[in-house]
Amino acid sequence: MTDTTMTWSSLAPAVPEICLVTAICAILLIDVFAGEKRRGLTATLTLLAIALSAALTVQYAHVTQRALLFDGMYVADELSFVLKLAGFLVVATALLYSRAYLENHNILRGEYYVLALTALLGIFVLVSANSLLTVYLGVELLALSVYAMVAFDRDSGISAEAAIKYFVLGAIASGALLYGMSLIYGLTGTLDLSEIAVRLSAPSSLGVTMGLVFIVVAVAFKLGAVPFHMWLPDVYEGAPTSVTLFIGTVPKLAYFALALRLLAQGLAGMSVEWTQMLAPLAVLTLVIGNVLAIVQTNLKRMLAYSTIANVGFIVLGFVAGTADGYAAALYYTLVYVLVALGSFGVILLASRKGFEADQLDDYRGLYQRDPLLAFAMMLLMFSTAGVPPLVGFWAKLRIFQALWETHHLWLVIIAAAMSVVGAYYYLRVIKLMYFDDPVGQQPPASTPGGVRVALGLNAAAVLALGVLPQPLLNLCARLIH
Amino acid sequence: MHGLLSILIWLPVGTGVVMLLLGDRNVAAVRWLALLGSLGTLALAVPLWDSFNSTTAALQFTESLAWIPRFNAYYALGVDGISMPLIVLTAFMTVPVVIAGWSVIEQRPAQYFAAFLIMEGLMIGVFSASDALLFYFFWEAMLIPMFLIIGIWGGPRRVYATIKFFLYTFLGSVFMLAALIYMYVKGGSYSIAGLQALPLTLIEQRWIFVAFLLAFAVKVPMWPVHTWLPDAHVEAPTGGSVILAAIMLKMGGYGFLRFSLPITPDASRELDLLVISLSLIAVVYIGLVALVQQDMKKLIAYSSIAHMGFVTLGTFVVYEILRRTGSVQGAAMGMDGAMVQMVSHGLISGALFLCVGVLYDRMHSRQIADYGGVINPMPVFAAFMVLFALANAGLPGTSGFVGEFLVIIASFRASFWYSFLAAVTLVLGAAYTLWLVKRVVFGPVTSPRVAALEDLNPREFLVLGALALAVLLVGVWPAPLLKVMQPTIHHLVSQAIATKV
């Protein structure tokens, strides 16, 4: 870290962040001058900026070797590269799905796009964090943007309530994270994650374990693991659906990275301790998430509990505590994000002006009204249930495999049983769409063709990656090893 | 012919996808396409039977492509003497399903036929996969079209029935998946031959055996996990019932033969009495349950469970025969019987469900009490119905006799009581099927609606006639079928009696 002189070429790995900051400033300014009439301009510009940033990232920021920047605060490796590209893609798709919804709810404002981009910036910082400070910076940048997005529909009481809940509980979690970090810092004397890993390889003291407990709590809160999941259903239900789509997808990439960088890399020496802490959390998460999802009548809330259940599987990957387990968790996260993107996208596309389409009953007979949407949703639901030939099957298979490799017989049995419980409520959505008759006369949603094509591609990807899973499986394994 | 199995799998699947894309705009085209697709598959099944080498137990028509090198999983296909007849049966039974639904299905016909053709391909995939991961892939994927078939085109309680069906099967299957992954982690391969050769301790075998038992017992179905079947059968449309009874149930029996016995031989030997007792309960108790049914489809559904009891009995009685007599030849006879019973039950139960479908299409009732004297307005139909009923009761000269007879003879070598209890079913089976025929077909015409019934149209005649021919052919001359299976069954017995510990 002696080399403090910075050249432009040495900054190349940070191209995604640089592009994003530039785009945020530009879009914020342009939006101010574009005025109320040309709101569509901001939306289009944002998508263009994301596409351009992604292209520049591929061009300049592709690293094959682990590179440290900014005095070791920032790490760029292939994992961060791929997660950032995934972040670009997911945010772009999410914004594409949301456009009509925002217009219908009169919340198509430039700030929405700027906040989405700052949240993405937070995700990037988190993904590339190599110091406790950077981790915290990323977590807060992401969280603050997202709090504002949840409250974006100012006139909606339920959104405001959700935002307050999220903010208060999130602040407590941040406090826990900070406190845990301070203990680790105090006992190791360094903020650098690589350095912490070295210093904590010896048997640890009680203080370090204390710090670890707080960090595990914060990570569990961010992921939405039981018993730190209370905020999740309320926020998912209360936020405008476009925001639910946003917070239900991209941040999961960041929180996976958070768990990986903090626990699996920084605190690798204490993996025995934290796997013991995570195992009961994972079991609770699986059971509570799946069981409570059954009784929901609101689709957004049901998908929130389904998220919790899926987080249980991701945490199980970490419980395995091996490189193969982390690769399984990464694969599960990517698959989950892809499927959640589609599922919430369906809700957005099924909604219209004055009709939220967030109740399960709104999906009765959807097949007769909109076959494409219903077919896409069916594929997505079967995928989350883990039925081949869809990609969700391989995600579950990877987790089972990682658990067998580490001889977790009971976890396998519980996870297998819980995936059957989960299948029930996914089937119920299909039942409503395909087996029931529509109630009342609802005009078909009028979504632009391009967006429908995007959703179709999203669902097709779920099928294609399910039939030929090798490329993504290989990629995940390579990124972790 | 190279790639024959792949064509058999993907031709119907591809046809189904094309039909989905065509949609309901041109119903006639869709119907003909469905018929062409299913007939084409059947035509391709002929060379499969024809050029099958019945002197070896090795896999034939093998194909292998790297599918997921990361898991050492291959797109590996191949057939032997137990899977080949089941593939031919699948290809054969889909044609009557398509013809039977020809003009009956008015709601979303394109999706209906597409679902059956996709099912056909996936089912052939199950029987021809020689890689356990590929097997599981097809095994589970098959649930999706069946779930939709029962749920969309089924009867009044279709939703309950189809969700019950899906969850039951899914529950059994996930534990099988867990067992397969465990063996992969241990042995590094999903190839079925590799799993069969994998050394496993007795404790491991017990766990794996139980996982397999869960998956296959639900599918067969064995008492006490059979309760989904009567519901699914009653609510499913005729075609769905036919495929369920004729093919899907066979997958449970096939799974026992392909996975349980060779992979966990020691646990199978140790726990054989468990399976034998469950089979005998199915044969006797479910036979009694069938007697009291008021609904024709439910009666045939229970009869299916009782008849599938013979399959599991014939499979597991092998160990008892060896324990008592040491005769490998005698043990093989039990398995022969199980296999013939599977093929025969596929034909007979399918035919019986089609008969009920013929009546249901006309009267929209499955209640036995609504019928009576059907022979008067429908003499030709009555002849077919009586033939299939007698075959179901195990009349010599029909396929139903061969399988049951072989299993009973074989189980006699194991214990007098097994064969006694199994033989009880001949009496019970005759009682419930003949009583069904008496109440529905014979007697005076009970209502004006029955009197107004029209006899079989050419389409229905063709379907039932073809099945009747097949039932009689297997019944009178089972030798070709037995010959095809023989080397494989001998190999299987040697695998089943070997010890892995």
Please write down the HEC assignment for all residues of B396-437. Answer: CCCHHHHHHHHHHHHHHHHCHHHHHHHHHHHHHHHHHHHHHH
CB distance from B102 to chain A under 8 Å? Answer: no
Among B13, B108, B144, B235, pick the best mutation site for testing chain A contact (most A Cβ within 10 A).
B144
Query: To the nearest whole angstrom, how far is the Cα of B89 from the nearest Cα of chain A?
Result: 24
Strands B73-79 and B60-68: antiparallel
**Helices and strands (H, E) in chain A, number of each type:** 20, 2
Residue whose token pair is 């903020």:
A191
Predicted-complex ipTM score: 0.90
B65 φ/ψ sector (left φ>0, alpha ψ -120 to 50, else beta): beta
B 183-202 residues inside an 8 A Cβ radius of A:
184-185
When scoring B131, B139, B164, B170 by the number of chain A Cβ atoms within 10 A, the one with the most, hence best to mutate, is: B170
For A123, which DSSP code? H
Residue indicated by tokens 């009685």: B317
Q: Shortest CA distance to B208 belongs to which of B126, B268, B275?
A: B268
pTM of the entire predicted model: 0.92
Smallest Cα distance from A152 to chain B, Å: 40
The string of pLDDT tens digits covering residues B340-393 is: 999 999 999 999 999 998 888 888 888 888 888 888 888 888 999 999 999 998
Is A434 close to B69, i.e. CB distance below 8 A?
A: no
- Pairwise CA distance, residues B405 & B426, whole Å: 10
User: Which H or E run includes A159?
Assistant: helix A157-188
Phi-psi region of B173 (alpha: psi -120 to 50; beta: other; left: phi over 0): alpha
Per residue of chain A (481 residues), give pLDDT as tens: 445 556 767 788 888 888 899 999 999 888 888 777 777 888 888 999 999 999 988 888 888 788 888 888 888 888 999 999 999 999 999 999 998 888 888 888 888 899 999 999 999 999 999 999 999 999 999 999 999 999 988 888 899 999 999 999 999 999 999 999 999 999 888 898 888 888 887 667 888 889 999 999 999 999 999 899 989 999 999 999 999 999 999 999 999 999 999 988 888 888 888 899 999 999 999 999 999 999 999 999 999 999 999 999 999 999 998 889 999 999 999 999 999 999 999 988 888 877 788 888 888 888 888 888 899 999 999 999 999 899 999 999 999 999 999 988 899 999 999 999 999 999 999 999 988 888 766 666 667 778 889 999 999 999 999 999 998 988 888 888 7
Nearest to A420 among B148, B170, B181 (CB): B170
List the one residue out of B359, B363, B412 whose CA is nearest residue B382: B359
Q: Which residues of B touch A423 (CB under 8 A)?
A: 166-167, 170
Partners of A75 in the β-ladder:
A68
Residue A442's pLDDT is: 64
3-state secondary structure of B62: strand
> Which residue from A412, A469, A477 is facing B178, i.e. has the nearest CB?
A412
Sign of the dihedral defined by the CA atoms of residues B152, B154, B157, B158, in that order: negative
Within 8 A of B67 by CB-CB distance, chain A residues are 468, 470
User: CA-to-CA distance for B368 and A290, rounded, in angstroms?
Assistant: 42
| Token pair listed for A224 | 């939405």
Please tell me which residue, B325 or A179, carries the higher pLDDT value. A179
Token representation of residue B123: 């089912």
Picking from A267, A250, A215, A213, the residue whose alpha carbon sits closest to that of residue A127 is A250
> Which H helix or E strand runs over A345?
helix A323-350
* DSSP state, residue A359: B
d(CA B480, CA B470): 13
Say what the pLDDT of residue B449 is. 82
Residue A378's SS3 state is: helix
**Do residue B177 and residue A382 have CB atoms under 8 angstroms apart?**
no
Please check whether residue A42 is in contact with residue A4, taking contact to mean a CB–CB distance below 8 angstroms: no
